[in-house]
Every structure is written in structure tokens, then in C-alpha cells.
């Protein structure tokens, strides 16, 4: 079945540090991959997405590349800010199975300290 495994947190970084949050997936069909961000007390917001192998999604300085050979979609940012503190979720939608829902990882809490 489909699943997403992401790096357990929490992750604590100093401002301007480099961020990587690992995400790997298992899918039986043709997945699209997503990163969502959740700020305290709020719902999830789409951060970036990639729909096919070798696509790179990017937004607000965050990037992730869809790597089919390693079944990965790691999230990176070159210089984090305090405002990036949030929980980050990796997710996939598997078009090949006909499923209409997203499969989520468990989330990684990022705290950025000044």
C-alpha cells in the first residue's frame, strides 16, 4: 500500500542555518508529492508540490526534488528564519490506484531560534 515516512523531529536550528527534512515514500501507482506546512493552531497550507519524476517544487525559499530512483522528496532551505518555525508534512496522492485522498507522514516540528 501507499505510505510516507518522514524524518522524526523535533528539529531545532539557529537562524540562517541550512534545513533538510527527509521524506521517502511507497506507492503502487503514479504519485504526486507534496509538502504542507502547519503553523501553531492552524490548518495545513500547501508549501510546494511535484507531479512527476525529476520535477522540483519550490516556494518561499524551500525546495524539494521528486527522486523516483530513491523514492524520496526531501525538503530543503538554504537559510531558515524564525518565521519558518512550524510542523512540516510530506504527503502523496497516488493517481494510479484511483484513490482520491492524500497519504501523510507523521510531521516534523521545526523550531528556529534567533
Partner 1 sequence: DGGITQSPKYLFRKEGQNVTLSCEQNLNHDAMYWYRQDPGQGLRLIYYSQIVNDFQKGDIAEGYSVSREKKESFPLTVTSAQKNPTAFYLCASSMASEQFFGPGTRLTVL
User: Using CB under 8 A as the criterion, which residues of the chain lie in contact with partner 1 when the complex forms?
Assistant: 4, 32, 34, 36, 41-46, 49, 51, 89, 93, 95, 100-102, 104-107
Least Å from the CB of residue 92 to partner 1:
10
Of 41 and 114, nearer to partner 1 (C-beta) is 41
Least CB distance to partner 1 at residue 90 (A): 9
H or E element that contains 96: none
* Nearest partner of 109 among 74, 91, 84, judged by Cα: 84
Distances (CA, A) of 94 to 25, 33, 53, 74, 103: 11, 9, 13, 18, 9
Q: Report in angstroms how near the CB of residue 83 gets to partner 1 at its nearest.
A: 19
**Nearest to partner 1 of 63, 104 (CB atom):** 104
- Between 17 and 38, name the residue whose CB sits nearer to partner 1: 38
**Helix or strand or coil: residue 67?**
strand
For residues 85 and 60, the answer to whether their CB atoms sit within 8 Å is: no
Amino acid at each position: 500500500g501507499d505510505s510516507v515516512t518522514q524524518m522524526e523531529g523535533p528539529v531545532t536550528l539557529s537562524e540562517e542555518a541550512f534545513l533538510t527534512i527527509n521524506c521517502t515514500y511507497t506507492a503502487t501507482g503514479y504519485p504526486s508529492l507534496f509538502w504542507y506546512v502547519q503553523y501553531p493552531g492552524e490548518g495545513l497550507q500547501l508549501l510546494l508540490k511535484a507531479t512527476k519524476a525529476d520535477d522540483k517544487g519550490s516556494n518561499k525559499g524551500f525546495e524539494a526534488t521528486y527522486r523516483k530512483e530513491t523514492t524520496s522528496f526531501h525538503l530543503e532551505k538554504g537559510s531558515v528564519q524564525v518565521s519558518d518555525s512550524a510542523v512540516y508534512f510530506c504527503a502523496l496522492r497516488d493517481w494510479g490506484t484511483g484513490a482520491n485522498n492524500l497519504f501523510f507522514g507523521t510531521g516534523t516540528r521545526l523550531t528556529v531560534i534567533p
